Chains A and B, each alone.
Chain A
Amino acid sequence: MNEILIKNACVIDPISGINGEIMDIAVSDGRIVEEVGSGAEVIDAEGFLTLPGGIDSHTHICGTKVNFGRYMSPEDMRAGRTPRRGRMHSTSGYSVPTTYGNSYRYSGMGYTALLEGAMAPLEARHTHEEFAYTPLQDTMANVLFDGNWAIMEAVREKDTKRAAAIVGWTLAAVKGFGVKLTNPGGTEAWGWGKNVSSITDVVPYFEVTPGEIIDTMIRATEMLALPHSVHIHCNNLGLPGNYRTTLDTFDLVPDLNRKRQTLYATHVQFHAYGGTSWSDFCSKAEEITRSVNEKPQIVIDMGQVMFGKTTTMTADGPMEFNLYRLHHNKWSNHDVELETGSGIIPVLYRRKNLVNSIMWAIGLELALLTKNPWQCLLTTDNPNGAPFVRYPEIIGLLMSRKYREAEFATIHPDTEHRVSLPSIERELDWQEIAVMTRAGQARALGIVDIGKGRLAPGAEADIAIYPLKIGEVDPGREYERVIEGFRQTEYTIKRGRIVSRRGECLVWGNNTTIWVKPKISERYDMAQDPAFVEKFDRYYTVRMRNYPVQEEYLKRNLCIETETEL
């Protein structure tokens, strides 16, 4: 049995209510336990900050779209190349690194679980293949349903049970984790080069609105008792004035689940824009957070933008085309039959660009104006706002007003008239950062019960020890030490093994893919629904029997079976 005793750890574990206590953590056979035998390996944490392993609840790391981002960007690969060394394979890339690059860098930063934000079901096998080469984290994939024909037909028929049955069948077939709606309805409209512009617009041919899709999918998700709520990328991403669409979307959401939110709205920075055009573009973070503060049923993530080069990629095909028209750089698009779409373009966020400066401020405002840190999680929508390696800087910005002011002085001077950031005094504390980077994610994803996001006995031994003595650092003034501290762990422990030591990855991880299989009665089994099967075989270009992802594609995995109303 593999046992570890971590001594002198300064633990923050918000879920268990531990805030900065110096304690020992015992690990046995991959789990945290009350105590271990005398033969356990002893790690002296030296009073360093010890947190549950980091969890990214919205990132793009694996699958067709991510890989196409790599494929089209040899210039991005030139940054960040490392040779094979010890247990580590070679890596390449900055904003869209290779799978090993992602896995090693996340691990070096203490991250032990990642949710791939957007998996097209037809191409799910690809995501799972890349998961197998992302060895140091547990992985989950949200499944795209935004333009799913069968779903839209069920919505049109107002048949929530049928929608739930389709979701259930698809999740189990493609080994997915939760429901993702990216610009619901808009990706189907993009099949004709069009888009939708509000939640009441009608999707061509299908005669449903984004609002109806969202409402039905929320109810279907709860009917299936999925661990995670509907995960939405709202309509109108990136357009001036889009905050109204975002507020309209939030207003649709009932409070249906006692354990977690009912809607997870992702990269809300890109959806909190005021103005009528780029010339009067401004922040509407105050309006957005006012709504979030009133609605415990909503959790958002930041989608923070950081200055520099990156690659944007999303299932939101029409949005990427609009970006292409703005930037005139290279543009890829990939529509997926009967399901969804996607687009990719490289971008450079510039400090001297007013719009980019405002975007940067909005992300921070969202985090600072959301009262409850459990309702606003730290992300960049990697790599859309910035590559995840920028997270430590974001933590620094959230913890230090001084740092924010120093940065503010370098951005476009007109920014101050368009945002409220300079007047915000709030500085987040260590506990709030722990919520925003792991505990909150675990709760929002519904994986606390399987042992994620906490360090109490029974939890999975996913632990990050950072070279930070929180009693000796004043984050408000010494933000650089905070940034350095979060950049690289002393130890990252995954499933009870030391996987990363000061950035050096030490094992082939072989970690777990977590997927969900709702238990559905035969009556609602879509595999036996003649109309569904007939349409499937007629309009897809793969046969229905070849569609499900076979067990061979799951390496080590955990299936969460849910009790449903179907």
Chain B
Amino acid sequence: MVTVEDGRIVAADNACTLGEQKFLGEPRLKGPIQREGKGWKDITYDEAILRTVEMLRDAERPLLFGWSGTHVEAQCIGVHMAEVLRGVIDNTSSVCHGPSILAIQEVGHPGCTLGQVKNRADLVVYWGCNPIEAHPRHLSRYTRYAEGFFLPNDYLDRTVIVADIRKTETGNIADEFVQVTPGGDYAVLSALRAIVRGKRDIIPRSVAGVPREQLFRIADRCLNAKFIAFYFGLGLTMSRGKYKNVRNAIELVSELNRHTKATISAMRGHYNVYGSNEVNTWMTGYPFGIDFARGIAFYNPGETTAIDVLARRECDACLVVASDPAAHFPRACVEHLADIPTVVIDPYPNATTAFADIQIPVAVTGIDAAGTAYRMDGVPIRMRRVLKTDYPSDEEILGRMYAMLQEDHPP
């Protein structure tokens, strides 16, 4: 439910605190801008599109990055562009759950949709994530405070365990908080796997700050639960060991399935980052970090992912769509962005604007553009348009660019 006054959204009900801000974001660019020396000038959409196409055409190794903030339809065009340009295409999962994907590629992913958790999960584990701050609605919609079909007394029926290196807000509402020494998640998860396998005798008095008794107690809670929903976050993907931490968590959950029902899922952010993974996968075979330099899709995160390509200065042009790498990438990456031609397609000026040669404002999916987004559990959702503006959609802008690029390569 949104309230519109003078073509601008002034209130958004029934959205979470984070969602609300998406509706009430800062003033948008009125039209495309181009950097001129130490300043900026306004240009037309036609000029902006043509110059972007020229920049991409000239590049020997263009990077097309972002994609999490836009709709599936635009993401599909992005993949076709990367293919025709023979560039590298990557999305923001390389800085959120890319490691989770690497782990899934090693051991799979016993998961489920959120409704399974809501209706069945009597034990919820949050590991290295802090949904109260990062996913404010998660607990009330699906876990701690949610009524489920088989759990009519939400709060009383469910147990919540939180494991983290610091006691976050989510840790405060847990039935049990597990304080892990930074960098110790892998060891703790290994220990739990051994315990679930009946090898309690091997466990030392304490593992990465967690006392043996607590490890046993957590394992017992899991073994006695009817349905375990294990959620993990950036605490596993970004810390030492990266994807191996996630792999270990998945293998713990797989092992638990020999005794009871257990599922595991990543707490994903960036509202449509999963859509980008899905699109990339059905079109190229790989969820992120795809290098088309040789015409075929090559995938090797750590080499073909945005951070690595930028920090190692391996690209010579960058198209940023619906994301803000200058705010979220290490400095070495941002400094390279400053050195190469960069175009940003985004409704709002952001930190990356400062490094753009051109920025093209577009409609916002779910506000003035419709489109598809994938929820973090893989359920695709139709994002409706609630406001009519003159801004073109990402799909439209990228579609025009792709049409021009195709002229270079007639069939």
Contacts and interface: CB of A to CB of B under 8 A. Distances in A.
Interface stretch (A50-58, A224-232, A328-336, A520-528): A328-336
B322 interface: no
Contacts of A62: 282
B115 A338 contact: yes
Interface in A81-133: 81-84, 86-87, 89-90, 92-93, 97-101, 122-123, 125-126, 129-130, 133
B261 interface: yes
A332 B108 contact: yes
Interface stretch (B50-58, B360-368, B378-386): B378-386
Given A98-B285, A539-B119, A541-B379, A331 B110 contact: yes
Nearest to B300: A74
A92 B282 CA distance: 10
A67, A71, A191, A553 interface centre (most CB from chain B within 10 Å):
A71
Contacts of A334: 109, 111-113, 378
Given A71-B287, A89-B283, A130-B282, A540 B115 contact: yes
A142 B115 CA distance: 22
Interface in A530-565: 538-542, 546, 550, 552-553
A97 B285 contact: yes
B271 to A, nearest CB: 15
B378 A64 contact: yes
B226 interface: yes
A125 B105 contact: no
Contacts of B84: 84
Interface stretch (B40-48, B210-218, B289-297): B289-297
Contacts of B323: none
Given A82-B296, A92-B296, A125-B372, A335 B380 contact: no
Interface in B166-189: none
A99 B286 contact: no
Nearest to B142: A541
Contacts of B108: 72, 324, 330-333, 344-345
A333 B381 contact: no
B111, B150, B286, B378 interface centre (most CB from chain A within 10 Å):
B378
Interface in A122-162: 122-123, 125-126, 129-130, 133
A72 B278 contact: no
A345 B108 CA distance: 8
Nearest to B228: A193
Nearest to A80: B285
Contacts of A420: none
B116 interface: yes
B260 interface: yes
B275 to A, nearest CB: 10
B109 A84 contact: no
Contacts of B106: 330
A68 interface: yes
Interface string B103-146: 01111111111111011100000000000000000000110000
A44 to B, nearest CB: 25
B281 A67 contact: yes
A477 interface: no
A325 interface: yes
B277 interface: yes
B285 A77 contact: yes
Contact of A123 (B72, B281, B283, B380): B380
A71 B101 contact: yes
Contact of A541 (B114, B282, B294): B114
B169 to A, nearest CB: 23
A90 B372 contact: no
A446 B380 CA distance: 30
Nearest to A123: B379
A86 B411 CA distance: 4
A507 B147 CA distance: 52
B381 A542 contact: yes
Contacts of B272: none
Given A74-B286, A125-B380, A192 B109 contact: no
A121 to B, nearest CB: 11
Contact of B141 (A205, A325, A331, A541): A541
Contacts of B296: 81-83, 90, 92
A70 interface: yes
B80 interface: yes
A331 B227 CA distance: 18
B350 interface: no
Interface in A27-49: none
A77 B382 CA distance: 30
Interface residues of B, number: 62
Contact of A133 (B119, B227, B282, B370): B282
Interface residues of A, number: 61
Contacts of B263: 333, 335
A552 B409 CA distance: 29
A528 to B, nearest CB: 22
Contacts of A100: 283
Nearest to B287: A71
A321 interface: yes
A538 B107 CA distance: 34
Interface string B294-335: 111101000000000000000000000000000000000000
A73 interface: yes
A337 B285 contact: no
Contacts of A64: 378
Nearest to A98: B285
Contact of B115 (A125, A126, A330, A541): A541
B258 A90 contact: no
Nearest to A332: B108
B83 interface: yes
A205 B254 CA distance: 25
Contacts of B104: 71-72, 332
A101 B277 CA distance: 18
B155 interface: no
B285 A93 contact: yes
A192 B226 contact: yes
Given A335-B116, A337-B118, A338-B115, A542 B285 contact: no
A77 B297 contact: yes
Contacts of A86: 411
Contacts of B277: 71
Nearest to A87: B411
A98 B284 contact: yes
Interface string A433-453: 000000000000000000000
Interface string B258-274: 10111100000000000
A550 B382 contact: yes
B257 A74 contact: no
B142, B148, B295 interface centre (most CB from chain A within 10 Å):
B295
Nearest to B384: A546
Given A541-B118, A550-B382, 17 more contacts: A71-B281, A71-B287, A73-B105, A77-B286, A77-B299, A82-B296, A89-B83, A90-B297, A98-B285, A129-B380, A324-B108, A333-B112, A337-B119, A338-B119, A541-B114, A541-B115, A542-B379
16 contacts: A67-B278, A71-B281, A81-B285, A93-B285, A98-B285, A100-B283, A122-B379, A129-B372, A133-B76, A190-B261, A336-B112, A337-B116, A337-B118, A538-B147, A539-B148, A541-B141
Interface of B: 72, 76, 80, 83-84, 101, 104-116, 118-120, 141-142, 147-150, 226-227, 254, 257-258, 260-263, 277-278, 281-287, 292, 294-297, 299, 370, 372, 374, 378-382, 409, 411
The 7 tightest CB contacts between A and B, nearest first, are: A337-B115, A83-B295, A92-B285, A193-B261, A330-B108, A77-B285, A335-B112
